[in-house]
Amino acid sequence: MVDQPHRPIGKSALQLVLATSEEQEALVETIESAGYQTCLGKTGSMELQKVVSAIETAAKRQGLIDQSLYREMHALYHAILEAVQGVTRGQAQLGDVMRTVGLKFVIVRGIAYENQAEGEWIAVALYGTIGAPVRGLEHETAGLGINHI
Amino acid sequence: MVDQPHRPIGKSALQLVLATSEEQEALVETIESAGYQTCLGKTGSMELQKVVSAIETAAKRQGLIDQSLYREMHALYHAILEAVQGVTRGQAQLGDVMRTVGLKFVIVRGIAYENQAEGEWIAVALYGTIGAPVRGLEHETAGLGINHI
Amino acid sequence: MVDQPHRPIGKSALQLVLATSEEQEALVETIESAGYQTCLGKTGSMELQKVVSAIETAAKRQGLIDQSLYREMHALYHAILEAVQGVTRGQAQLGDVMRTVGLKFVIVRGIAYENQAEGEWIAVALYGTIGAPVRGLEHETAGLGINHI
Amino acid sequence: MVDQPHRPIGKSALQLVLATSEEQEALVETIESAGYQTCLGKTGSMELQKVVSAIETAAKRQGLIDQSLYREMHALYHAILEAVQGVTRGQAQLGDVMRTVGLKFVIVRGIAYENQAEGEWIAVALYGTIGAPVRGLEHETAGLGINHI
Amino acid sequence: MVDQPHRPIGKSALQLVLATSEEQEALVETIESAGYQTCLGKTGSMELQKVVSAIETAAKRQGLIDQSLYREMHALYHAILEAVQGVTRGQAQLGDVMRTVGLKFVIVRGIAYENQAEGEWIAVALYGTIGAPVRGLEHETAGLGINHI
Amino acid sequence: MVDQPHRPIGKSALQLVLATSEEQEALVETIESAGYQTCLGKTGSMELQKVVSAIETAAKRQGLIDQSLYREMHALYHAILEAVQGVTRGQAQLGDVMRTVGLKFVIVRGIAYENQAEGEWIAVALYGTIGAPVRGLEHETAGLGINHI
C-alpha cells in the first residue's frame, strides 16, 4: 500500500528552508536520519535564470543529483520550476516585471513513500522575499516543487 | 525605516500550517503574542471554488476579516489566489485537470513591518496533498500568499 | 502606407462600452458613419462559458459576423478570449475561483486601416464589474480584444 | 451599504486614457472634483520592465503614492500588473515574444465607494498600440487594474 | 555519452498519432521493434477532465503503466498535461471557454536514450480538432508531452 | 458545408516538420500539389525572440506572407505564438527559465476547407529539442499553431 512516511519529503524541505541558522544543523540531522539527502543554499537576483542555475549548481556540486544523467537533471528542473511558481504566483518572471528575489533554497532527495517500489523523489523548497529592487519594498514568498526521480 | 519584524507574517503562517496538532497550540500563542491574529482550518475538494470558499468562510466566521468591508475581502481573496498558485503550480485548476487536494490552511493578520504606518497585512498559507482522486496517488503541495489589508 | 484611421476601431469599442445609455445612440451613429458595424449587449455570470456564448450569440443575431463561415467565428472567438484576459487578469476563470462578472460588451467590425488591403478587423470591448458573488463586493474591470477577420 | 459612487474610479481612468489632448484638461477637472487624484503619462518599449518602471516613477513623482510606504507601492504594483495583463492578453511579455508597445497611462486614486470605510483605491488604465517593432504593424490594446490602497 | 536513439520517442508518438488506420499497424510494429510499448485511443469532450481520464484509463488498461505505482501515474499525468498545453495553447480549458476537442492519442513508453542508465521515458502525443461545439467550426490541434518514468 | 479537405493543413505541416531530409522533397511536392504553399527552416536559441524572428523572416523571404500587409503578419504571428505554446508547455520562456531549443519549423499556407469562402489559413509546425544549455540534456518537443489569414 502507498502511504506517506513518518517524515514527509515536502514538509522536511519546507521546515529546513524556514529554519534559523541555529536550528538548521539539528534539523538536517533529523531529516538525513530519515534516509534523505539534503542540500541548502541562498540565491538572489532579478534574473530568474540565475535562480534556477544556482539551485541546479548546488544540487550538482553537493552530489544530490548525478549530472551525467539527464533524467536526474530533468526531475530536478521541473521541481525547481514548480517551486518557482509558488514564489512568483502566476508569472514566472522577475526583472521583466520589475521585481527581485532573495531566497533560501533546500533540496531533499530520497525514498518518500513506504512502498519502496515508489523509488526516490526530490523536493525543492524556496523561502525569502520578493519585491521592488529597493530594500524594504518587499514581502515574503515561498514555493514547493516535488517530482519523482 | 521599513524592516521585517522579529516574527515575519509569512513564516508564521507557514510554520503554523506545518505544525502537528500537538505543536499548534503553543505556536498559535507565540504568533498571537507577536501581535497577530490567526485562523486555522482544513479543506479538501476537486473543486477549487470550494477551497477558496472554505478559507473565506473561516476568515469571516473567526472574525479575521470584516466581511462588511469589501477592501478586506479583496485583500484576503488575492492572498488566497496567490497561495493557490503555489499549490497548483501553473494552472489554478483541480478537477478540470483531474486532480484533487486535501489542505490545511492558516490565515495570519496583523502589523507586519516595524514601521507602523505600513499598517496591517494578511498571509494565507496552504499545505497538504495534491494528486489523482485515488488514495495514495498524491504528493505534498504548499503555497503562500501575502497582501496589504 | 499602413496608418490608423481617424476613428480607431478599439477606441470606438471602448468608448461605446463606457457610454451611458443617453450617450449611446449618438456614439453608435458616429462610429457607424465612420464605416463600422456595431453590436451592444449585456451579460453576467459565474460561468465564463456563458459570457463567451452571449457575445457570440449577439454577434450572430445582429449579423455582425456570418455564422456559416468558420473564419469569421474564429476571428470573433479569439477577440473575445483576448478581451476576457483583460477582465480576468491572469486566470481566464470565474466561478472556479469563486468570482462573478456583470459586463456590458460591444463588438465593432470594419475597415480599420487606411490601406484598404488590410481588410476588415473586429474589436470586442468589455466593461463592468468582477468580484465575489455578493452585491457590492466587486470592482470594475475591462478588456479589449482585436483581430483581423 | 457598499455602492458604486456617481463617478466610478475605473471608468474615470479609462475615459481619461482614451481622451484626446483637447478633452484631457476638462476631464481631469471633472474627475478631480469627484475627489480623485490623477496622473497621466506615456511610455513605449519592447521591455515590459520599462513600462512598469515608467508608471511607478510617474506615480511617485506626481505624489500619487507615498514611495516611503511599501503598502502603497505594493497596491500600485499589482494594479499595474493587472492592467498589463489586459495589454498583453495571456503572456505578460513584450520583446521576448518579439513585440513592442506604445502606451498612454492614467493612474487615479481616491475614495471609490460610498461607504467611506472602504478607504482609498487605485486604478491604472493603459491604452495604445501593440505589435511588431515596425511602424504600422500594430493594433490597439488596453488594460485596467484596480486595487485597494 | 547521452544521445538520441535512432528512433526518437516523441517523433514515434507524433507519427503514430498522425497515421491513417491503414498505416497504423505497420508503424506500431516498427516502433515496438525499436523497443517501445505503444497505446492508441480516441477521446472527445468539452470537459478536459474526461480527456485526461480517457488517456490515463487507456494507459492503465493496456498495461503501459503500472497503476499501483504512483511514480508511474505521476510521470504519465505530467506528460498528458504537457501535451494538453499544446492542444489548448495558453489556457488549459475547453468547455469553460466554450470549445470542444476530438482527439486521437498515442502513448509510447521505453528506453529513449542510448545511455541505458537514462532508463524509461514516456511520450504522449495528441492530434485532432478543437473548436466551437458545432460541426465544422473547428481546426486541427496537436500536442506532445515527454517525461522520465 | 464546411469540411476538412483531403489533405489537412495542420497534418501537412506536422508531417513535413517530422520528415527526414530524404523524405522532404517528395512530401513538399505532395503538399503543394494539394494547393498549399510551404516554407521550411531551422532555428535554435535560448532567446524566444530569435525563434519568433527566424520564422517570420523565413515566411517573408520565401514569399509565404506579404509583409506589407499587417493582417498577414498578424495571422502569422499568432500562429507562431500558438505553436510556441506547444513547445514551451505552460511558460512561453526559454533562457529566462534556463533552457534552450533547437527546432525545425514548417509554415503551410492555403485553402484549408472545402468551402472556398473559408479562404486561406496558415499553419506553423515546430519540432525539435528543448532542454538545458548542455548537449544531451534535452528531450523532444513540438507545437502546432493555426490561424485564418
The per-residue pLDDT for range B37-69, each reduced to its tens digit, is 999 999 999 999 999 999 999 999 999 999 999
Q: Please indicate, yes or no, if residue F4 is contained in any of the structural domains.
A: no
Which residue intervals of A62-125 are DSSP H helices? 70-88
What per-residue confidence (pLDDT) applies to A6? Answer: 73
Q: How confident is the model at residue C3 (pLDDT cuts 50, 70, 90)?
A: very low
Cell 523497443, residue?
E35
Query: What was the pLDDT predicted at E6?
Result: 73
The dihedral formed by the CA atoms of B59, B62, B67 and B69, expressed in degrees to the nearest 10: -90
E117 Cβ partners below 8 Å, 6+ apart? A69
* Domain contains F48: yes
Is E3 contained in some domain?
no
Is B30 in the A-facing interface, judged by CB distances under 8 Å? Answer: no
Average pLDDT of the segment spanning F100-105: 98
Residues of chain B by 3-state class (helix, strand, coil), percent to 5: 40, 30, 30
Q: Could you tell me if residue E4 is inside a domain?
A: no
Q: Do B121 and D69 touch (CB under 8 A)?
A: no
* C-alpha–C-alpha distance, residues F53 and E27, integer Å: 35
| Pairing status of strand B37-45 against strand A138-148 | unpaired
Residues E99-122 have a mean pLDDT of: 97
pLDDT tens readout for residues C82-118: 999 999 998 999 999 999 999 999 999 999 999 999 9
Q: Which residue has the cell 475538494?
A: B45
Query: Model ipTM?
Result: 0.95
Average pLDDT value over all residues in chain F: 95
In a domain, A2, yes or no: no
CB-CB under 8 Å, F90 with B91: yes
d(CA F10, CA F13): 5
How far, in whole angstroms, is CA F79 from its chain's centroid?
8
Q: Are C95 and C132 in contact (CB under 8 A)?
A: no
Return the SS3 of D133. Answer: coil
pLDDT at B4 over 70: no
Kindly state whether residue D4 falls inside one of the protein's structural domains.
no
Query: For residue C4, is pLDDT > 70?
Result: no
Instruction: Determine whether C77 is exposed, middle or buried from the number of CB atoms within 10 Å of its CB (0-12, 13-18, 19+).
Output: buried
Range of the domain at F86: 9-148
What is the residue-averaged pLDDT of chain C? 95
Mean pLDDT of D42-68: 97
pLDDT interval class at E1 (50, 70, 90): very low
Instruction: Indicate the residue of F68, F75, F115 with minimum beta-carbon distance to C148.
Output: F75
β-bridge mates for residue B127, sequence order: B104, B142
For C13, the grid coordinates are 469599442
Positions in chain A whose pLDDT score sits under 50? 1-4
> pTM for this structure?
0.96
E55, part of any domain? yes
Q: How far is CA F30 from the centre of its chain?
A: 18
Determine the residue of chain D that is closest to B70 in CA distance.
Answer: D118
Write down the residue that cell numbers 469571516 correspond to: B60
The enclosing domain of C72 has a CATH number of 3.40.1510.10
Inform me whether the pLDDT recorded for C41 exceeds 50: yes
- Grid coordinates given for D50: 520599462
**How many interface pairs between A and F have CB atoms less than 8 angstroms apart?**
36
Give the pLDDT mean for B73-90.
97
Is any Cβ of chain B less than 8 angstroms from the Cβ of E52? Answer: yes
pLDDT band, very low/low/confident/very high, at E4 (cuts 50, 70, 90):
very low
The Cα–Cα gap between A41 and A17 comes to 9
Task: For residue F90, list chain B residues with Cβ-Cβ distance below 8 A.
Answer: 90-91
Q: Within an 8 Å CB–CB cutoff, is residue A22 touching chain B?
A: no
Number of domains in chain D: 1
Q: What is the pLDDT of residue C93?
A: 96
For residue F43, give the nearest of F96, F80, F5, F89 by alpha carbon: F80
Q: What chain B residue is nearest to E56 in terms of C-alpha separation?
A: B98
In a domain, E94, yes or no: yes
- SS3 for D73-131, per residue? HHHHHHHHHHHHHHHHCCCCCCHHHCCEEEEEEEEEEEECCCCHHHCEEEEEEEEEEEE
Q: Please, are residues D16 and D40 in contact by the beta-carbon 8 Å criterion?
A: yes
What's the pLDDT at E136? 92
Q: What is the grid cell recorded at A121?
A: 523523489
Residue whose entry in the numeric block shows the C-alpha cell 503572456: D91
pLDDT value, residue D6:
73
Is the CB of residue C111 less than 8 Å away from at least one CB of chain D?
A: no
What is the band of B5 on the pLDDT scale with cuts at 50, 70, 90? Answer: low
HSE, CB side, 13 Å, CA atoms: give it for residue D60.
Answer: 13
